Amino acid sequence: MPPTRKTHHKSRNGCNQCKKRHVKCDEVQPTCGNCVKRDAACSFSTDDQSPSTGHEDRESPTSTLESQQKILSRTEEMDLLHFYTTTTIKTVCHDPKDWHMYEHGIPQLAFQNEYLLDILLALACLHRAKIHTLNQKFWVRCAIEYHNRALPIFFKVLSDVNDETCHAAFAFSFITTLVEIAMPRPDYDPIEQLAGLRNYFRGTAMLYITMIEPLKYGAMNPFFKPKTIKWEYDPEIRKSYHDRITTLYDLVAGSPDKKIYIETIDLLLRLFYDSPFAIIAFSLLVGPDFFQLVCQREPLAVLIYIYCGVLFSNVNEW
For the chain, domain boundaries: 12-46, 74-224, 235-312
| 315 — pLDDT class (breaks 50, 70, 90) | low
Long-range contacts of 11-18 (CB under 8 A, 24+ apart): 11/57, 11/58, 11/59, 12/48, 12/49, 12/53, 12/57, 13/44, 13/48, 13/49, 15/42, 15/43, 15/44, 16/43, 16/44, 16/45, 17/41, 17/42, 17/43
Q: How much of the chain, in percent, has pLDDT values that exceed 70?
A: 81
pTM over 0.85: no
Instruction: Please give the Cα distance from 68 to 149 (Å, whole number).
Output: 10
Per-residue pLDDT, averaged over 235-248, amounts to: 88
Q: Examine the pLDDT at 47 and tell me if it is beyond 70.
A: no
Helix (H) or strand (E) holding 65: helix 61-69
47 versus 291: the higher-pLDDT residue is 291
53 versus 191: the higher-pLDDT residue is 191
* Least-confidence region, from 7-11, 152-156, 184-188, 313-317: 7-11
CATH architecture of 12-46: Irregular (4.10)
pLDDT at 290: 93
pLDDT at 227: 60
Using one digit for the tens of pLDDT, what is the confidence trace for 269-306?
A: 988 887 666 777 787 788 889 989 999 999 999 999 88
Per-residue pLDDT, averaged over 198-202, amounts to: 79
pLDDT at 202: 80
Best CA proximity match to 182, nearest among 218, 216, 131: 131
Instruction: Please give the Cα distance from 257 to 300 (Å, whole number).
Output: 10
